[in-house]
Amino acid sequence: MATSIAPIAPVDPPVIKAAGGILQRSTPRGDEVMVVYRKRHQDWTLPRGKVKDGESFQEAAMREVEDETGCSCRIGNYLGTISYSDNGVPKVVLFWKMTLVEEKGSRNNEQIGEALWLQVPAAIERLTHAQEKALLSRVGSIPKQSEIPVASAQSHVATAASHVAAARPEIAKNLSVETHRAHSRLLRECEAFRVELGFLERRSARPDNFWAIAAHEQLNNVLRCLESDDIEGGWFGLHAAQRYAVFGMNQIELANRAHVLREESLKINSWRAAAMESLLSGPEDQLSAENVADAIALRNEDFSHQHFKTRIVGDRLRILLIVCGLAAVASAPFIFLTGRAPMVAAVLFFGLLGSAVCCAQSLIAGRSEAAASSLFITLTPVLFGALAGLCGYAVYEYMPSITFHSGDRHISAVMGLAFLFGCLGQRLLARIGDGRKRKTA
């Protein structure tokens, strides 16, 4: 079920083209949708009608919904398509989500006998045709979407990124290039999985496809997250939907998925790898969907954890650069002073620089997750390293026998010693904190 804008109806193919909408409104009892009774066909349907020459599917959907319901509305995202044979001629009907603006009450009474607002379960039961029932059951709980202007799209949308931009232009303009790419990638993955889910759902012979219902609900959560630019939440919803889909797989597909998961576990450097191996051990013909789903959850948790840690480490490295820059600016005025002040300022700066370098190396190597998660824990050893650099200067000045110099002051040696003491101070304080954490654990 795509979320893109349909192109203008072509005139060549020998098919009947129609469009309609799932018109929703919010009430204290919950969301309601409108269904209409057609006198000629004597059936209950969603409001819809044929596309006129030169008219886009969107324009036809807006016109037909207003004509059959007497309501002005705003059009939202494309929801899906139904198709059937009308007296031997193929017919396709495209549906959009629509939100109520105003109830005018002036509907086409010649064709429509009655128009009712019903809650989704009651509307599904009232509808006559099975395809419309299935469509409404899939999208009835879809979250409110950003409205788009009614305009004719002149060509097919080439990529999923342009789908997002076309369906939500007012939002896409405010997105950065990186965020726009993340939107497009998530939307492509979501639509590709929706096709796979539809295949599993149609193939399943079980009457209680609970897993399909849960997967569709999670895909709706992905759409909600896309609207609020919550990319991480969208991936969480997609991963949850993929875990539910495992329950619709046969034994051969479970074995293949387990093989892929075993290979992926070799790249995981945490306890989750051993847990995945334990879940997927045993004969392949005895693998259960529960174990495979749990292994997928562990894989996804490691992916989310690594993504979160990478983002936090990047933030901490930027903060370290800012701290070093501020320290350089603060130390610059002391150069013009006399006495020991210029030397002390330079020593403190090089001590801070040494501790910042060691802290950055620890963050990049991933040795200190606590430091990455807390800004205070990150900066405290760095500031302590600056004071340790001052201790290195004191050792150089007052204990020449230890530093093996004749008493003459060599600036480069002093700065190098301050840098070294800054590194050692940062590592010492970080090691103490890490040791106490492990002892408590």
pLDDT tens digits, one per residue of 268-291: 877 888 888 888 888 878 888 888
CB 272 within 8 A of CB 280: no
CATH 3.90.79.10 domain range(s) in the chain: 16-139
Which helix or strand (DSSP H or E) is residue 68 part of?
Answer: helix 57-69
Burial class (CB in 10 A: 0-12, 13-18, 19+), 198: middle
Q: Centre a 10 Å sphere on the Cβ of residue 411 and count the other Cβ atoms it contains.
A: 9
Q: How far apart are the first and last CA of the chain?
A: 48
Q: Has domain 16-139 been given CATH number 3.90.1150.10?
A: no
User: Which amino acid is located at 378 in the chain?
Assistant: T
pTM above 0.85, yes or no: no
Query: pLDDT (tens digit, 9 = 90+) per residue, 33-66?
Result: 999 999 888 899 999 999 988 888 889 999 999 9
Nearest to 222 by CA among 193, 181, 257, 179: 193
Cα distances (Å, whole numbers) of residue 334 to 41, 340, 394: 90, 10, 19
Q: Is 142 helix (H, G, I), strand (E, B) or coil?
A: coil
Burial 122-151 (b: 16+ CB within 10 A, else e): ebbeebeeeebbebbbbbbebeebebbeee
Given a cut of 60, is residue 160 above it in pLDDT?
no
Query: pLDDT (tens digit, 9 = 90+) per residue, 82-109?
Result: 877 777 778 888 888 999 888 877 777 8
pLDDT of residue 139: 66
Nearest to 153 by CA among 171, 169, 166, 170: 166
Beta-carbon contacts of residue 386 (< 8 Å; ≥ 6 apart): 327, 348, 349, 351, 352, 355, 422, 425
Mean pLDDT to the nearest integer, 183-198: 82
Nearest to 40 by CA among 75, 86, 71, 96: 86
Residues pairing with 119 in the sheet: 32
Residue with token string 């959850």: 297
Mean pLDDT to the nearest integer, 401-426: 72
Given a cut of 50, is residue 370 above it in pLDDT?
no
pLDDT of residue 144: 42
Say how far apart CA 388 and CA 26 lie, in whole Å.
64
Confidence of residue 172 (pLDDT cuts 50, 70, 90): very low
Given a cut of 50, is residue 154 above it in pLDDT?
no
Which helix or strand (DSSP H or E) is residue 381 part of?
Answer: helix 375-398
Say how far apart CA 427 and CA 256 lie, in whole Å.
46
CB 186 within 8 A of CB 218: no
Confidence of residue 176 (pLDDT cuts 50, 70, 90): low
